Structure formats: structure tokens, C-alpha cells
Structure 1
Amino acid sequence: MPRDLGVSVTLGYYCVRRMAAPPEIADPPDTFKSIVWEHFGFSVEYRNGIRVVDKAHTICRNCFTKLTYMTGNTSNMQAHLRRHHPNIDISGTRKKPQKQETLPTAFRMKLQANSDRAQTITKAIGVFMALDMQPFSVVENDGFTHLLSVLEPRYQLPSRPHFSQNVLPHLYSEVKAKLVEDLSNAKFIALTTDGWTSRATQSFMTITAHCITDNWVINNPVLQTRAVYESHTSDHLSEILQAAVAEWKIDRENATIPVTTDNAKNIVNAVEAAGFSPNIRCFAHIVNLASQKGMGVNQMSQLLGRVRKVVTFFHRSTTAAAVLKDKQEMLHLPPHKLIQDVPTRWNSSYDMLERYLEQQAAVFSALTDRSIKRNIKDIVTLSDEDIKLAEDIIQVLKALKMVTTLLSTEQLPTVSMIMPLKHTILESMKVSDTNTTVVKDVKSAIVSDLINRYPESDSILVQFLHMSTALDPRFKSLPFLDETMRSNLFNSLMEKILEYHPQQVFFIIIVLIQT
């Protein structure tokens, strides 16, 4: 056979073999160190459907040539590679094969702390602490750690100091930077301050900002809650306000900054000293103070004292409470508990009186019951005159209760409601000939205190409140003002609109038509 023909037949043989389905090759054991085993494996046969590895023969993974193998002898395989695959380097030792991890093994491996998954979970825990006001120690609680181990067994929970020193400060910096940017873009900003004392008798001052975005969304971010260690003087509180405005980069040059506060003299003077204007005093707090003045009338105070003693008795005696419950069932009265008032909340006194009147029959029956009568000391049941006075006072205070409830449940700013509500209260407090002396005294005390809180002499504040009311569609007709004041107010309002938005002439025409 000519040489060229022999070469052609050999090449054709290999081509046919490559076109055929490749044989199944079994991997050699991991203990075989020779590099030739990266290119060879054992022959596999199926006998009667059973897979059998033929360890007497090896197969080349490159050309599928089958060679005889003697245990431990790789000479045939090396010779084959040199002759038929000269480009393959057979120096060195075999690399250890990489095995694919099983799913159970993969799930047992802990997440790297710098992995995206671990960092996402850590940040989410920080957000959870911030939004729900959870202490840093929550990461050490057994229940919390168990929850995380169920949700993500591979996650390694960082230590408590990691959250207090790294995670939360980083979150705060992110949120603060975004908030500073939003406040810098706001055209008008108002502030609210509130001084309060914790259960540990530590004083704090909270400052909240209010603004409207270009999309007409109201934002009410709490800027800070800071401990106040120094004396609560006007000068010191003024410094806190000015420092907060500077820290949050709120512009004071192009617009006034209204500040809402309670009625304490020190914070009112602090706002004035800081140069903020106008100072809007919390109307809910004003109603509370005015109502307390009314409750402080001598006969009214005595009435509340007698009712308070009765309520306290039923709260402290389990036997009396059980007897009261039996009397309620017998008299078919609602099984309501008596309400104990709180000195700082006038409406709790209103609720105490109202509940007492509802349950007076059951209370009287319980107090005269033999099982508890012997334990009663210094408790006097209300006379008919007392009951009549309580009923009259409830009617007097209904308007104040309605205003307090309305202001407490409102989700939107209530500045536009101040003057209409004040007018409503004053109208309800007008004295009539049928009023008793005590009722007249209560009304007079409430009116006197309420009028002094928003004096007409403070023209800037009054003008601001009236304008806010005029811009509220519910009160834009301003029925509580006379024609002259109403006309002057709308003229001032239109001047303000032209000052900030000269192009809004059409809007001014609409306002004129509607008013």
C-alpha cells in the first residue's frame, strides 16, 4: 500500500471515530498523581445492563484511542501522547480535580461579611432598629437570633458594637445628606418644637421641619431630639434652635420661618430671640390651658375632687370593682370602668365626669352595698345639685372636647383651623340668663384665658393665621370677620401672591371671583 494511501486511511479512520458517539470514560481515582491522567480515563462497558469499569484499559480523552493498562504503569499513555499529541505538556503532576459542591454543603457555608447578601441583611437590620426604635441589644436577643437563623442560616450576625458604631451612623449620614438636599430645595419651611421629659426625668427637645415638595407632598421630618442638660432659659433654647437651623442648612435669608411651640414663656421668648417669625402657639395646648382654668373654678374643683375620690376607691378595691360590675349587669348599664383623670389633660376630667354620669346609678347602688359600705372612708356621693352641675358643665365643655379631638386626630396641618375654632369656642362660651353662677364663672375663666393667648395686638401673627384660613377652601369665606377686615385680608393675600408669583394674575382673578 502506498504511503500516501496509508496516511489517508488512518486519517479517515480517526474522522469516522470522532463523528461517532464518544465512548463513556470513567475518571481515575483522585490518588493518581501522574499528569497523564488529565488526558486518560478508564473504559466503561455495560454487561447485562450493569455498568462495569474496565480498569485493564484506558481511553484517550483527545482521540478516544483505547490502550492496555497495567496497574501503576503509565508508559503506554505517555508514549501515546508524545506520538499523537505532541503539543500536550506532560511534565509536572496532576491537578486535584475540583468537585462541584452539593446543595447541603453550599447551604452550610457561611456568607462572607463583605458579600452583597450579607451587607443587604445587615443594612436591613439597621433600618429595622431605626424605624421601630429598637435598642442595639436586640441583636443579642435569643428570639431575634433564632429568627435570623431560620430565615438565612448562612448569615453571621455582627456584634452589637458593629451596629452602634458603623451601621446606624452610616444610615444616619445617608438619610441626613438626602434630607439636607430636600430642605435646600424647599422654598418654604416651618418648624415645630416640643420640650418633654422622659421617665428617667431626662429633658429633651425635639425639632421637626415641615415643607411641601414640588409634587405637593407634605414632608414632616424630625430633625433632631437632643438632651437638654443646661437650664431651660430662653437664651439656651434659642441657641439650640439656631444651631439646628444651621446644621440642617435651612435658608433664613430669603424667607421667614414660622415656629410652632407650646405656651411656655421660655420657648416663646426663645423663638423671638432667635429671630423666627411668626411664633404659632399650639392651639390644642391653648385649649387645654383654658379648660384647666375653667376646671379650676372653686365649686368646679370641689366637684371634681368628690368624683375623683369615688373613682379612686373603685380602682383600688377589687371587691368594690366586682360589686360595681354586678350592679351594672343588674341595672342593664354598659360594663364600662370608671375613668381616672390626669392633671395635665383636661379632657380626661371631662371623660371622668361623663363616665360617672353614665354609671351614677350603679355607683350609688354599689356604694350602699353592705359588702363594701363598711370600707368607705371620706367618700361622699354626689347630691342632686352636684349631678345637675356636672351635666351643665359637660354641655359647656362639649365644644372644647370636640376641638381637642379634632386637633388630635388631624393628619394634615391645622394652622388654618385655629381662628375658626377659636371663634367657635368663644361663641359657645357666651353667657345666657339660664346659666347658673358656677357655669358663668367657668365660661368666663375659659374666655379670659383663650383671648389672651392670641391677642389682636400681635398683628403679624393674627394676619398670618387669617391668611392661612383664607387659603383653606373650608373657611375661605371667613364668616367670623366683618366685611372691612375680610376685604383688607384678601387684598394683602393678593399682594403676597404677586410678590412671590408675579405671573399668577389669572389665579388672583379666580380668587376675586370666588370671594
Structure 2
Amino acid sequence: MSSMKESITGVDTQSNDPVDLSDGESVDITEEVSQDADEEGLEDEKNEDGKKRKYKSVVWEHFVRTEVKENGKMVKKDQCIHCNKKLKAQLGGTTTTMKRHIPKCPTLIIARGNKKSCINFSASVATDDGSVRSGAYDQMKCREIIAKLIVAHELPFSFVEYHWFNVLMKYNNPLYQKVSRATIRKDCIKVVDTEREKIMKVFKNVDIISLTSDCWTSNQTVGYMCLTAHFIDSNWKMQKRIIGFNELVPPHSGEVISDSILECLIKWKIQDKIGTITLDNASNNDRAATFLRNNFQRKGKLHFEGLFFHVRCCAHILNLVVQDGLGKIDSCLVKVREGVKYLRKSPGRLLKFGDIAISLGIHTRRSLCTDVKTRWNSTHRMLESAIHYKVAIQEYASRDSNFEWSPTDDEWVRAEKVCHLLEVFLDATNLFSGTTYPTSNLFLVEIFKVKKEITNAFISDDPFLQTMSLPMYEKFEKYWGEIGILMSIASILDPRFKMESVSWTFKRLYPLNEIDDRVQEVTSNLKSLFEKYSNAFVVDRTANSTGTSTSSEAPNVRARREDDFYAYLISQPVENTQKSELEVYLEEPKTLVVKDINFDVLQWWSQNCSKFPILSKMARNIFCIPITTVASESAFSAGGRILDDYRSSLTKDMVEILVCGGDWIKAASKATIQTLELAAKEEEDLEVKLLTSEKALN
């Protein structure tokens, strides 16, 4: 980023105010020529030989060299940046006068609290999590906080050169030293590097990490791939971190995607900890998942026996199902869509429509929403708002002869049916898209609701619903079988559901002649997976006990081996009647909190990990598997703002630093930073408030 210089305006030398808030003063943010000088806050001056020399004394943290006009001549002065007092510049670069001034500077005395007539507010320092604690002012810590502010809130580096930002910082603490965009850029890189080291330490203590990935094209037609790691930390909390936002070289084939993912995993040193990867339903993603699976299998690092390494994004599957259905009934939606567009085009029409709605007793707090054909959730919002104003639309049509899009009574009934069907899909998508709680355990019961609605529409007597539901039913059946085992095992590990979730839903999802085989398939995979975890647990425990044993026990062991009686005992088979953890867990009564929306399944396993040490580890690794790619897709909103039309020249490394660093800083902060969500709502202009005569007068 190129540097910018701001001119220094005149400053009143007689003013004792520590900060001048007048609009006439410009903040001195002169960009230094030397890179080292920029980092240290020094200025350069030419000596007699024409070469630049640097002022290295610490006094230059409090003074700046200026020129003022005296007796018609320009004279160099050393100006205090705190109280604005100007001292005569000494020949030879002597700093004695400036050193004498610093302890006597009235502004610094006030800032340090040594003046009784002033209230001494102790300085505050922000910790890593965003909280604030008291302490002495630290310029470097202040720069670190500003760097986090810029990265987390997606601000430009030139933010530190904004006039009123510097006025505010100087007003809050006169000890604050202005920095340039080049300096804060380096600070941002240092902050992100520190956060990266923290995450790498966390990854060392994680057994299995699940991935989500998606691709995006910037406004410069440059392809990027976002890679997000999902895991459960030592406190049994769901965590996600963006670990890669890399430029993807064309063509975006399966080989290119898999190589980019492997490169990122090697850089983070987690290539042996990957359990699953969730991808959108695309042929290049399928190929990339196959390459990754084969790579891990050759190394013997394929977790879960490769049972569900590749997870298809459930939100994407639901989207395909809905789009297939809406494609068959688009003609039914045309009237509602065009009617809403007609009303939105004119404020006068909106005003008339709002008055009609009020006269009919319809509240107008709900917005009138249009849709985007490729986003079915916007179609649902459009139908929902149109149905709310159904009577008003009919009344408006009778008064405006140009309004040709008033649906008939039969068409309104169909719109209500479609809206109800889409509402089920919307609820399921919102539930599956969560990133702060496990979602795999909720899929089985929720997907039954979707299948039920599709089936009811398919077997109904309404030809309209049958036409819509037929392609939806076929698409659902195509993808359901591929993700059923993972979701079923996760549901069983939810103490509210256990085996009942499988037996109950399978009776309603599959034909009668397939139910027993389906349940048996899930049960056998569950037992096989548990056996693998159990064997690994025994090996770890044996290794730990062997490591703590002493050599003094060896003679006794050898003596027992030589004893015939002990040899006989060892040769006899041991009859183990003890039940396994899995059997004990399944036989225990279910946790009676089925309807508790605040039930935390991770907290339950955290409290019962001593009782079920093997199952709890298995549950931890399965519950961290995301069933949608929403976590990776959400990063594209940040990428679009970072790489806007004015910042398209950012390098790919800097883009990755800003996107990943912003995600890490937000995750480490206790405060909720809703930059992505709020910005997305601001960018989406699908809704418009109704006008009424009362609002127009006000």
C-alpha cells in the first residue's frame, strides 16, 4: 500500500491544552522515508554530505523537528508533541534541552497523575480475549490492540492515519504515538502470527479434526479455496478455525483442490489428524475427496476406518432438493413475484398499498419481500410476506387496473402449501448450519420431518403438489443413503435418543422389508467402531502402565512363569461376563431432557467421561463432524469486503492473513463480533418497508 503524507498546519504555541479538537488542526501522520525510521517513530534529516542520518535518542518519541518563521526567516524548532512547546534546535543534534523539558512537560505531568487538581484515570490494557484490565500505558500494547481492531473489523490499514482517530487517541492519552499504515501493517502480521502459534499449540492436543471446504471467485476472477478446521477442545466446546484461504490455480480440478488442501494440512502439521471432510456436491469435490482418502489410507491415518471420510453438505443437498421442486412450479410463483415487483417500483403504489392494508386491519410492520430465484429461502420469505398481505393485494388489484398479477383463490392455496413445505426445509437448514453446537446428532430426527413433508405431498390428491414433490422425492432418495450411517451413530450417542432414534425413524424412512437390514447395518458399524476405540484405549493404558513399572518386579514375574500352577492358570480361558461401555450406555434409561432446547450434549459427555472413557472419546470425535460447509462459505463475505474494488491489489498472502486472522481474533474474543452477519444483511436489499399516509406526514 502506498504511503500518504499529510501537511502540518500551524499550531498555537501559547496553548496549554493537551489536545486541540478544532477542525483546523491536522494530525501529523508524516510517512517516513526509511523503513527502520517508520518502525521506530524517528525522522530523517540530511547532513552536510547530503546523506540522511537518523535521530536515535529516546527524546524523539516526544519531540518532532519543525520549521517556523521568525524575523522573516525559517528557523528549525524542536516541538513537544504533548504540550506543543517549541524549543530552539541545538547545533550538532544536542538533546539536553529536550531532556530537561520532558519531566517538566505539563501535559505529561497530567497524564501521569502527578497533578492533584486532575483526576488520574489509570490506563487500561486489553487482554487477548478482548477484556480490559488496569495497568500502565504501553504504546506497543496499544498498537497491538489497534492491529486486532483492524483485522477483526476488516478495516483498511490507513485507518490509523484518519484525522479524528488520532485526535481521539491523543485525547484519551497524550502519550499515544501516531503510527503509519506501513507500521500497522507489520503489526497486523505480527498479531496474526501470534494467533497462529496459539492455534498450533491447541491442535497438538486434539486427536481428530474435521474439515469443511468450499471455493469462491473474487471480483478479479481469482479463485480462492477456504479450509476450516472443526474440533472439540479440552473444555468440551465446539471450535472452528479458518486455517486456509488460498488462491486456487485453474483449472479447479479434483487434483488441484486435494493438493491445495494437503499443502495447507502439512503447513499446520495436522495431516495425520483428519477424520472427515465436508464438501459440496460437485464432481471435482468428489474426486478431491477420493484423492485425500487414498493418501491417508496409504499412510495408515484413515480414521473411523474410512466409514464416512467424505461427508456431503446437507444444506447443499436440501438446496438441490428444493430447487428441483420449485423448477416444476415456477409458473405458480410468477404472479406473486411480479406483483411484488410492481408494488416496489413506485413509492406512490407502496403508499396506497399501505393505506389499504391499514384500512383492512392488517399491521404493516412486516416488509414486502421479493426473491432471488437461485436462493429458495428468499422465495419462502416472499411467499410468507405475500400471504400476510393476501387480502390487501386482492383489494389493491380491484382499484388498480394496471395490476395484472393478482393470484386466484386456488393459486393462493397452492402458495400457502408451498410456503409450508419450504418452512420445513428452512428450519432444517438453519439447524444444520450451526457451528457452535454439534449438528450430526440432530440430523436423523430433523431429516425425518423433511421426508415426511415430501412424502405427504407425493401421496396427496393435489396434482400440483405431486408435480412439485416428485423430483424432490427422487433427489432425496439419491443422497439419503450415503449419509445415513454417520448421522445414525451420532444420534445414538445422544443420551436423549440412543437406539430409539434409529428404530423409530427408520420405520418411517424405509420400506418394511428394509428396516431390519438398515438397523443391523448401523448397529454393526457402531460396534466395530467402538471395538477399534476400545483396542486403542487398552494399548494406551498398557503403554502407560509399562512406562511406570519398575525393574524390581521382573524377578517375581519370571518366578511365576516358572511355576507350573501359574502356567496352568494362564492357559485357562478367562470368562468375561462384564458388559462393555457401549452395552451399559445403551441399556441405561435415556436422559429425560428431550424437549429441553438448552440441553448441551457435549456438557453431558464431559460430565460422564469418567464413567464412559472410551465412548466419550468416540463421541467427541464424531460430534465435531460438521454436516454443512456453511462455516467455510461464511468466510467469502469477509473475502468480498477485503478484496473490494478499492483493495484488489492485495497479495494472496495478505488476503489469507486478513481473512484467517479476523476469524482467529473473533474466536479468541469473549465479545460477539457480528461483522459478517450484519454486513450480509446490509448488502441484501430484498425487503422494503411499506409506506402509509401517517408515516409520510411524519
Report the TM-score, using the length of structure 2 for normalisation: 0.54
Which amino acid in 1 is paired with 2:289? Answer: V
Cα distance in structure 1, aligned partners of 2:107 and 2:428: 65
Which residue of structure 2 aligns with residue 101 of structure 1? Answer: 103
1:434, distance to aligned residue in structure 2 (A): 4.2
Which residue of structure 2 aligns with residue 266 of structure 1? Answer: 284
* Alignment map for 1:482-501 (pairs within 5 Å): 482=515, 484-485=519-520, 487-501=523-537
1:424, distance to aligned residue in structure 2 (A): 2.5
Cα distance in structure 2, aligned partners of 1:510 and 1:103: 75
Is contact 1:466-1:489 (8 Å) kept? Answer: no
Which amino acid in 1 is paired with 2:479? Answer: R
* Alignment map for 1:465-504 (pairs within 5 Å): 465-477=487-499, 478=502, 479-481=504-506, 482=515, 484-485=519-520, 487-502=523-538
2:436 matches 1:411: yes
Deviates most, 338-347 or 99-108: 99-108
Cα distance in structure 2, aligned partners of 1:98 and 1:177: 44
Could you list the per-position Cα deviations for residues 405-442 of structure 1 after superposition, in whole angstroms to 9, with x for gaps in the alignment?
32345631312223333233112222466431110121
1:329 aligned residue (352, 355, 358) = 358
Deviates most, 499-508 or 307-316: 499-508
* Alignment map for 1:74-93 (pairs within 5 Å): none
Could you list the per-position Cα deviations for residues 228-271 of structure 1 after superposition, in whole angstroms to 9, with x for gaps in the alignment?
3422221111111111111111042xx55201122222223212
2:455 aligned residue (411, 419, 430) = 430
2:478 aligned residue (438, 449, 452) = 452
Cα distance in structure 1, aligned partners of 2:315 and 2:362: 33
Is contact 2:249-2:256 (8 Å) kept? Answer: no
Q: Classify the secondary structure of the residue corresponding to 1:405.
A: helix
Cα distance in structure 1, aligned partners of 2:537 and 2:163: 59
Which amino acid in 1 is paired with 2:314? Answer: F
Which residue of structure 2 aligns with residue 320 of structure 1? Answer: 349
2:241 matches 1:221: yes
Residues 414 and 433 of structure 1, relative CA distance in 2, 3 Å threshold: closer
Which residue of structure 2 aligns with residue 3 of structure 1? Answer: none
Could you list the per-position Cα deviations for residues 282-305 of structure 1 after superposition, in whole angstroms to 9, with x for gaps in the alignment?
2122112211111111xx110112
1:361 aligned residue (374, 391, 396) = 391
Which residue of structure 2 aligns with residue 210 of structure 1? Answer: 230
* Alignment map for 1:17-416 (pairs within 5 Å): 101-102=103-104, 104-106=106-108, 117-164=138-185, 166-198=186-218, 201-252=221-272, 256-275=274-293, 278-297=309-328, 300-335=329-364, 336-370=366-400, 373-374=401-402, 376=403, 379-408=404-433, 411-416=436-441
Which amino acid in 2 is paired with 1:406? Answer: L
Could you list the per-position Cα deviations for residues 28-63 of structure 1 after superposition, in whole angstroms to 9, with x for gaps in the alignment?
xxxxxxxxxxxxxxxxxxxxxxxxxxxxxxxxxxxx
Is contact 2:224-2:246 (8 Å) kept? Answer: yes
Residues 419 and 316 of structure 1, relative CA distance in 2, 3 Å threshold: same
Is contact 2:211-2:274 (8 Å) kept? Answer: no
1:159, distance to aligned residue in structure 2 (A): 0.8
Residues 404 and 464 of structure 1, relative CA distance in 2, 3 Å threshold: closer
Residues 509 and 449 of structure 1, relative CA distance in 2, 3 Å threshold: closer
Cα distance in structure 2, aligned partners of 1:443 and 1:399: 14
Cα distance in structure 2, aligned partners of 1:386 and 1:248: 56
Q: Classify the secondary structure of the residue corresponding to 1:344.
A: coil
Is contact 1:420-1:475 (8 Å) kept? Answer: no
Is contact 2:225-2:246 (8 Å) kept? Answer: yes
1:395, distance to aligned residue in structure 2 (A): 3.1
Show structure 1 runs of 5+ residues with no match: 1-94
1:109, distance to aligned residue in structure 2 (A): 9.8
Number of aligned residues: 403
Which residue of structure 2 aligns with residue 17 of structure 1? Answer: none
Cα distance in structure 2, aligned partners of 1:274 and 1:508: 31
2:511 matches 1:511: no
1:472, distance to aligned residue in structure 2 (A): 2.0
Which residue of structure 1 aligns with residue 677 of structure 2? Answer: none
Q: Classify the secondary structure of the residue corresponding to 1:205.
A: strand
Show structure 2 runs of 5+ residues with no match: 1-95, 113-135, 297-305, 507-514, 542-577, 590-698
Q: Classify the secondary structure of the residue corresponding to 1:101.
A: helix
Cα distance in structure 2, aligned partners of 1:204 and 1:99: 55
2:445 matches 1:420: yes
Which amino acid in 2 is paired with 1:168? Answer: C
1:351, distance to aligned residue in structure 2 (A): 1.8
Q: Classify the secondary structure of the residue corresponding to 1:224.
A: strand
Deviates most, 396-405 or 241-250: 396-405
Residues 363 and 408 of structure 1, relative CA distance in 2, 3 Å threshold: farther
Is contact 1:403-1:421 (8 Å) kept? Answer: yes
Cα distance in structure 2, aligned partners of 1:358 and 1:102: 72
1:318, distance to aligned residue in structure 2 (A): 1.3
Which residue of structure 2 aligns with residue 73 of structure 1? Answer: none
Cα distance in structure 2, aligned partners of 1:513 and 1:194: 41
Cα distance in structure 1, aligned partners of 2:326 and 2:184: 50
Residues 407 and 107 of structure 1, relative CA distance in 2, 3 Å threshold: farther
1:361, distance to aligned residue in structure 2 (A): 1.3
Q: Classify the secondary structure of the residue corresponding to 2:138.
A: helix
Q: Classify the secondary structure of the residue corresponding to 1:453.
A: helix
Which amino acid in 2 is paired with 1:295? Answer: L
Cα distance in structure 1, aligned partners of 2:384 and 2:102: 76
Residues 145 and 193 of structure 1, relative CA distance in 2, 3 Å threshold: same
Which residue of structure 1 aligns with residue 646 of structure 2? Answer: none
1:202, distance to aligned residue in structure 2 (A): 4.3
1:359, distance to aligned residue in structure 2 (A): 0.6
Residues 489 and 480 of structure 1, relative CA distance in 2, 3 Å threshold: farther
Is contact 1:107-1:153 (8 Å) kept? Answer: no
Which amino acid in 1 is paired with 2:339? Answer: V
Is contact 1:184-1:251 (8 Å) kept? Answer: no
Could you list the per-position Cα deviations for residues 210-237 of structure 1 after superposition, in whole angstroms to 9, with x for gaps in the alignment?
1122332332111122233422221111
1:385, distance to aligned residue in structure 2 (A): 1.9
Residues 191 and 410 of structure 1, relative CA distance in 2, 3 Å threshold: closer
Cα distance in structure 2, aligned partners of 1:244 and 1:433: 49
Cα distance in structure 1, aligned partners of 2:485 and 2:240: 24
Which amino acid in 2 is paired with 1:221? Answer: R
Deviates most, 488-497 or 233-242: 488-497
Is contact 1:364-1:381 (8 Å) kept? Answer: yes
Residues 134 and 433 of structure 1, relative CA distance in 2, 3 Å threshold: closer
1:100, distance to aligned residue in structure 2 (A): 9.1
